[in-house]
Amino acid sequence: MKKAVKFSIFMLLAFSLVLAACGNNNSGGGTAATGSEGEAGTAAKSDIKIAMVTDTGGVNDKSFNQTSWEALQALEKEQGITVKYLQSKSEADYQPNLNQFVKDGYNLTWGIGFALESALKDIAGQNPDSNFAIIDAAVDAPNVESVLFSENEGAFLVGVVAGKMTKTNKIGFVGGMDSPTIKKFEVGFKAGIEASNPEAQFTSVYASGFDKPDEGKSAAATLYNDGADIVFQAAGGTGTGVFNEALDRKNQGQEVWVIGVDKDQSIEFGTEVTLTSMIKRVDVAMKTVSQQVIDGTFKGGTITTLGLKDDGVGIADTSSVNVPQEVLDEVQSYKEKIVNGEIKVPAE
């Protein structure tokens, strides 16, 4: 039976995360039959063990896999638990990686991304006494907690930014894979553009996966060559190629921008090329559900969706570096209208 999680829990933890910095990604890497693994080096102070399995984008995707791992590292520092990841090199690694943590007696195993939905559902069904959680997919099982996000709402806000900031009236989108989750980014982004600048032209391009930076670079080149001056990427590790193409063009004197995704990507790629980023608080979800395991309150069987009203999505605080205040004020106005129900952002 699906149960609703109280959003206030997530919001309280979101506030605490503002006050506490996440640990650095200092994990060691190795290769195993089911992918590669890493384990943070801090000594554990309890018997709690929490793990995560990445999708093929990998733990260093500068996006939501990396954010997820950083959240677990922060918990290890704060709580003294043991945390570990297994990195999936292909879809065939998902089930073995998940099963490995079950065999090793982990108290909670995370699947990071919708691509792990089927594998996690199977492994959870085979191991009813083990606890699981998943990001970006809904697995209706008594031992699984699922966390979804209203990506379309956050994407709408950066669409407003793009619509107001474009000088060529051409804007692009690069998706890592043509899937329902990534479509939510595209559809919300397009809706934000249309609301703020109906004259702007919009083009989307999809890669074949989240670990294809060369495809991301090629897709960005196609969009920029067609006249787009702003490209929003929702592509995991593939998005690195989008940034690299933009940086190459910046170095040649072209005025092009990238809108980052999931975390503030100006930290990785610089404000000279990052116009803004759509934030997706995967870290809040990871810490909230993991804390339930630490506290002994994990129940499973819940499917939670976090949107603008829950501060589950939004735009980066560093947006003010490149985005004028009057545009940010307009973004805030749209946010309020979405939160109070005056605007309903399409998701498909």
What is the per-residue pLDDT across 224-283, written as a single tens digit (0 to 9) for each?
Answer: 999 999 999 999 999 999 999 999 999 999 999 999 999 999 999 999 999 999 999 999
Q: Where are the domains of the chain?
A: 7-149+281-310, 151-280+316-339
- Whole-number average pLDDT of the chain: 89
User: With respect to CATH, is domain 151-280+316-339 assigned 3.40.47.10?
Assistant: no
Say yes or no: do domains 7-149+281-310 and 151-280+316-339 share a fold.
Answer: yes
pLDDT confidence of residue 6: 40
Say how many CA atoms lie within 13 Å of 158 toward its Cβ.
Answer: 39
Nearest 5°: the CA angle 186, 7, 142 is: 90
The reported pTM is 0.83
- Chain segment 30-45, per-residue pLDDT in tens: 333 344 555 554 334 4
Average pLDDT in the 274-295 region? 95
What is the third-level CATH fold of 7-149+281-310? Rossmann fold (3.40.50)
Rounded Cα distance, 155 and 128, in Å: 36
Q: Are 146 and 139 in contact (CB under 8 A)?
A: yes
